[in-house]
Amino acid sequence: MEIQQSGNRFHIDDIAEITFYTQDDTIVINHTFVDPSLRGQGIARQLLDRVIDYARENNLKIVPLCSYAVTAMHNDPSVQDVLK
């Protein structure tokens, strides 16, 4: 499964996605969805990692708003450099 980018959305076809918007030098993650048939396979984390890479590549910070991103980012010391 390949992660694709369409505007402010990273997705795997229509079965998984993470959406965000940008505000100045900040990415605000507002939604994460993974089809129930794929849950528990680390796909949401793969999508989040792609947003984190995008933030690092573009010198942006991240504000997680959706519950998944909040929990995942606040519990991971390796992403504190992009957490706002």
- Dist CA 68 CA 34 (whole Å): 11
The pLDDT of residue 1: 84
Whether residue 72 is predicted with pLDDT greater than 90 in this model: the reply is yes
Q: By CB neighbour count within 10 A (0-12 exposed, 13-18 middle, 19+ buried), where does 36 fall?
A: exposed
Domains detected in the chain: 4-79 (3.40.630.30)
pLDDT tens string 11-69: 999 999 999 999 999 999 999 999 999 999 999 999 999 999 999 999 999 999 999 99
